[in-house]
Amino acid sequence: MKRRLLILCVLAVAAGTAARGADALFDFEVLQFRAKALAVQPYQEPKSRVPDWLRQLSYDEYRLIQFDARLSWWRAEELPFQLQFFHPGGSASRTVQISEVVNKVARPIAFSPKFYDYDTVKRGWRVPADLGFAGFKVLHPVNQPGRWDEVVSFLGASYFRALGRDQHYGLSARGLALNPGEPAGEEFPVFEEFWIERPLIGGTSVTLYALLNSPSVTGAYRFVLTPGVDTVMRVRAAVYFRHNPQVPGLAPLTSMFAHGENTGWSRSDFRPEVHDSDGLLIETGAGEWVWRPLDNPKTLRVLSFSDSSPRGYGLMQRDRDFEHYGDLEACYHQRPSAWVEPVGRWGPGAVRLMELPTADEFSDNIVAFWTPAQLPPAGEPVEFEYNLHWLGKPGLRPPGGFVTSTRTAAVPGRPELRRFVIEFAGAYLNSQPEDPAIEAILTLGAGGQQAGRTVVQKNRFSGAWRVVFEIKSNPGDAPVELRCFLRKGQHVLTETWSYLWNP
């Protein structure tokens, strides 16, 4: 009884402190007007309220600060969603304002040290009462009734990530990417303030809002989160540029690829594959499906897939076989895929893929995003909307055949050659017996030279179809762009495999 009374008192103090501020009417239009007004003002870097001793915490020390689950926001009201708040410290030392919206009235949620357990850190801290939060997470039962699972978290810059049933955190999404891979350096816009609508009793969705700000841009964002077997976020954004970037990245996804089947087993790692995503999947505006296996290149590599109003793109974790990873802790076979499904027509532009070299699994080195061919005049917003799907197994696949593996190997005695082995599978393909009418359409980019014929054969053990070919390196070892798909007569049977080979 005393413990419950303490919990209610802490929540009442936090709510009361917030209520003393002026109540403000709030909706997306109000937020968009605020973003537009902010864009005509010079950018001002927010002053940090986080003391140095919190900033200097190591990763392990920071993780010892635990939110008291008994004080989860909305727990006492027994609502279908709960909130918990990240404490500032370590690398998460930028604070944000978080407000609750009830009947279109926004009230700030006040920080309180009583939300947290500091005992395990074993320091005589005096935490400022007005410190603020670093971010937040939303909880909802998705795996079993009565168990509160983390389904989305917002922490750092404009990063966020989400989960569906039986998934483990992997790749992240962002509100916006500015100039990724450009020589002058990337700018990282920040979600400075959040508003979260109180969910309805029995509701299946929760609505979040965020204000984006950085030296080059402001923006208003709305997220409608619907957790489930696959969690879906409906994202609406209005972005105002103070000055146009070289490369604006809309709906960006960020992931990690250390090594996989196409790069070969790392001699220093017991695990055959280590990655949060293994390929970029695109459904073009014309309806073509393109699969691009990811790579860990030796130097920065930026690839562009021009299109008009794509139907979707995403970074996928297509390989779901535990034995291909062998990691009982990281559970790479349960990392979600993320699929961006545009709402309306996005017009001409390109899906860009940026791959950076990485020596470990702790640094994200993959970025995929949409960049429009042209931005509107200064003062006019870039408005876009999309559904962001966080997918588990089997995940999204094209209606026809799809690539299940990409492998490359040296050719003994022929150092100038490289052998490629690609396998396609699918309901129709797997049901077909050996058929000479099924052929591989292989295209080599500028300077590419094929050595010998292309072999297409049925894999009698798995039911898939295997394509094997060898190519010669270009003079000067220039990269070669490769494309391949299966066809029977005039009928395209599979997605298009796309690959850049660096000799």
CATH topology of domain 1-245: Beta-galactosidase; Chain A, domain 5 (2.70.98)
Q: Residue 30: CA atoms inside 13 Å, Cβ hemisphere, count?
A: 10
The domain spans of the chain are 1-245, 247-379, 402-501
Within 13 Å and on the Cβ side, how many CA atoms surround 409?
8
Question: pLDDT averaged over consecutive 10-residue blocks of the chain (503 residues)?
Answer: 42 43 81 96 90 90 92 97 96 94 96 89 79 97 94 97 97 97 94 98 97 97 98 98 93 97 86 97 97 96 96 98 96 98 97 96 96 89 97 90 96 91 96 96 88 94 97 80 96 97 84
Q: What is the rounded distance in angstroms from the CA atom of residue 17 to the CA atom of residue 113?
A: 14
Cα 166 from Cα 164, distance rounded (Å): 6
Q: CB 216: neighbour CB atoms within 10 A?
A: 18
- Would you give the end-to-end CA distance of the chain in angstroms? 70
CB neighbourhood size of 250 (10 A): 21
Phi, psi angle pair for 434, to nearest 5° = -50, 130
Distance (Å) of CA 444 to CA 17, 447, 449, 480: 66, 8, 7, 7
Residue 165 CA to residue 428 CA, distance in Å, equals 29
**Which residue, among 241, 220, 236, has the nearest Cα to 26 in the 3D structure?**
220
Is 39 in contact with 241 (CB distance < 8 Å)?
A: yes
pLDDT at 49: 87
Preceding amide of 394 cis, omega within 30: yes
Q: How far apart are CA 367 and CA 280, in angstroms?
A: 10
What is the pairing mode between strands 289-293 and 496-501?
parallel
Q: Which residues pair with 224 in a beta bridge?
A: 207, 234
**pLDDT value of residue 122:** 67
CB 358 within 8 Å of CB 276: no
Residue 403: what residue type?
V
Q: What is the pTM of this model?
A: 0.93
If phi > 0 it is left, if psi is from -120 to 50 it is alpha, else beta; for residue 430 that is alpha
In angstroms, the CA 150 to CA 67 distance is 13
- From CA 278, how far away is CA 499, in angstroms rounded? 13
State the Cα–Cα distance between residues 93 and 57, nearest whole angstrom: 10
- Percentages helix, strand, coil for the chain, rounded to the nearest 5? 10, 45, 45
Q: Which tokens hold the place of 225?
A: 């989160």
Q: Is CATH 2.60.40.10 the right assignment for the domain spanning 402-501?
A: yes
